[in-house]
A and B are shown apart, each in its own frame.
Chain A
Amino acid sequence: MSTSMLPAHDPALEFLDHRTPIDRARGLLHRYPALSPAIVLVVSVIVFGFLNDRFWAPGNLSLITQQVAVVGTLAVAQTLVILTAGIDLSVGSAMVLASMVIAQVTSAAGVPAVPALMIGLVVGLATGGLNGLLVTRLKLPPFIATLGTLNIFLAITLLYSRGATVRGAEMPSLMTWTGTTFPVFGVRISTGVLLMLGAYLLVALVLSRTAWGTHVYAVGDDKDAARLSGISVNRVLLSVYLSAGAILALAAWIQIGRSNAASPNVGVDLNLDSITAVVIGGTSLFGGRGTVWGTLLGALIVGVFRNGLSLAGLDVLYQTLAVGVLVIIAVSLDQWIRKVRK
């Protein structure tokens, strides 16, 4: 009865694979999703440095980091959502709403800085919570839910602010503190960039070191499998959208410091730019695969391309063109990499 019907298994056979170098490369990229953006970033930095030596000027490097701070922070939120096989089209407009509320309550209503930031956090959590409820309770596809809230947040922002910009001088100094810079090896780094890096570090740790992080990946991988494994899928999804809301509130603060003002008209591009950074960073739109470090690289790649091309004297439209091409290459690469799955 217990005699095996198998030939004795030879573990060495597992390693005698007959894969081509291309298969190996694909396997490597599959295992380390941040590898391809890392290569692209290094190569583009070298190329743009050769094309124009002003690229390496401390002032220029400082500019790149500051230009990346806001979209880079939003992209952390976007990564969480995309890892669950969702998408958040509304992060940018939700961020602008939060920044306008912060600006208004400090300037017009005279609320002190710290409570105002808390109010901003509540606005961020409310926008994330709304998206989360639409996705988990009404079972709307995230694309549709956030397309709706994108417009809702945009309209509320314009109605609430009456289209007016609030200047940094009208707010307490803590509001624009995120725009203050200090030198690091001669390159001026802003507090906002540090806060962004803090958000990356925190989310990276949470994703790789907590059960919640594992569940985020599992939900993005296969919702039914996650459910049968005893994971409360809706709870994970809701918490992801709420986290995105908290992170976009941080981005709102960084935005106010960066532009030394709160303007209702800044955020429309940011919705899509955050997705661009995530996708170029190697995170799969199908969920379950990717890292926030890849996203940071993706955000830096976009910043370096825009900066390098403009230093090379090319029209801004060529920057847009280049970013578009990068997105398509990144998604094609992801499709190809995913074929590793049997």
Chain B
Amino acid sequence: MTTIDATTQTDRPGGPATTPILEAHGLVKTFGRVVGLDGVDLELYRGEVLAIIGDNGAGKSTLIKCLTGAEIPDRGGILLDGKPVHFKRPQDARTAGIETVYQTLAVAPSLDVASNLFLGREVRRKGVLGSVFRMTDRAGMRERARRELRELGISTLQDVTVPVENLSGGQRQAVAVARAAAFGSKVVVLDEPTAALGVRESGQVLELVRTLRDKGVPVIIISHNMPQVFEVADRIHIQRLGKRVATITPKSHTMTEAVAIMTGAAEA
């Protein structure tokens, strides 16, 4: 097995010269006496899918939360595009271009697909209707929603006026991912996006992840499903007991080796 440094140097997509789009170093987060993160580094490069795996309680969600403003780390720093950022709340990260799909889907079931895609960032109409009367540009948002969904290859969602509650689980997840991906975001973070889905629907979501990556949007994905991780990820960040123990790739390691590192049965 190779060392952490060797794999990160040789296998990152942009080559050694590129700076990571998102970078964390020395992240520490404690909850009272419980150590959630114990000095974690992470690098995400342009155009890659980075999977985060680890046992329950390894600190995956806490790491994600620190990167997306849902938790504030005790120590350590985060760089976005090489510049330090200090997120106080999720909205800060979102404004900076980091979109997150939380495990508990953040969609409004009774609103239609287009309204959900634009929820919290509605587009107003031009002229006084928009500026004085604050009317939203419904037709424009629907048109834009259709276009975004088409570009993401989500052909099953062409009727953007359907309430989200009438959709299947996979389609809802697709709406949530599309929402994260649709607005020129720099980074998309997905926390266990396929956990509640069947095989076919999981496949749709993974396809979406690849589409995003191919459009140049890097993706961080937490998953427990090793075959899915090995299918979709370019690199795999392994968390164990609040630390990053290794960063591997599907080519450098087998699933069995990855699980062994994850559980502490093998050294990285």
Contact = CB atoms under 8 A, between A and B. Distances in A.
B148 interface: no
Contacts of B120: 215, 226, 229-231
A222 B108 contact: yes
Contact of B156 (A9, A211, A214, A222): A9
A217 interface: yes
Contacts of B206: 5
Interface in B110-161: 110-111, 115, 119-122, 124, 133-136, 138, 155-156, 158
Contacts of A288: 108-110
Given A218-B111, A225-B107, A341 B119 contact: no
B134 A212 contact: yes
Interface stretch (B33-41, B78-86, B98-106): B98-106
Interface string A1-44: 11011110101001000000000000100010000000000000
Interface size grouping (class) on chain A: 20 to 34
A258 to B, nearest CB: 31
A222 B133 CA distance: 27
Q: Is the interface of B mostly helix, strand, loop or mixed?
A: mixed
B194 to A, nearest CB: 12
Interface in A216-242: 217-218, 220-222, 224-226, 228-231
B90 interface: yes
A7 B166 CA distance: 23
A211 B123 CA distance: 8
B156 A14 contact: yes
Nearest to B100: A228
Contact of A289 (B105, B110, B135, B203): B110
B207 A11 contact: no
Question: Which size class do B's interface residues fall under?
Answer: 35 or more
Nearest to A13: B156
A6 B207 contact: yes
Contact of B108 (A209, A225, A230): A225
A149 to B, nearest CB: 28
Contacts of B166: 27, 340
Interface string A190-210: 000000000000000000011
Nearest to A209: B135
Given A209-B136, A224-B106, A230-B120, A217 B204 contact: no
Nearest to B124: A211
B163 interface: yes
B120 to A, nearest CB: 4
A225 B200 CA distance: 25
Nearest to A338: B165
Contact of B203 (A6, A214, A226, A228): A6
B3 interface: no
A224 B104 contact: yes
Given A228-B90, A230-B94, A230-B121, A341 B109 contact: yes
Given A27-B166, A221-B110, 6 more contacts: A11-B156, A211-B136, A226-B119, A231-B119, A231-B120, A289-B110
Interface of A: 1-2, 4-7, 9, 11, 14, 27, 31, 209-212, 214-215, 217-218, 220-222, 224-226, 228-231, 288-289, 340-342
13 contacts: A1-B210, A2-B214, A4-B203, A9-B155, A210-B134, A218-B111, A222-B109, A225-B106, A226-B120, A230-B94, A288-B108, A288-B109, A342-B165
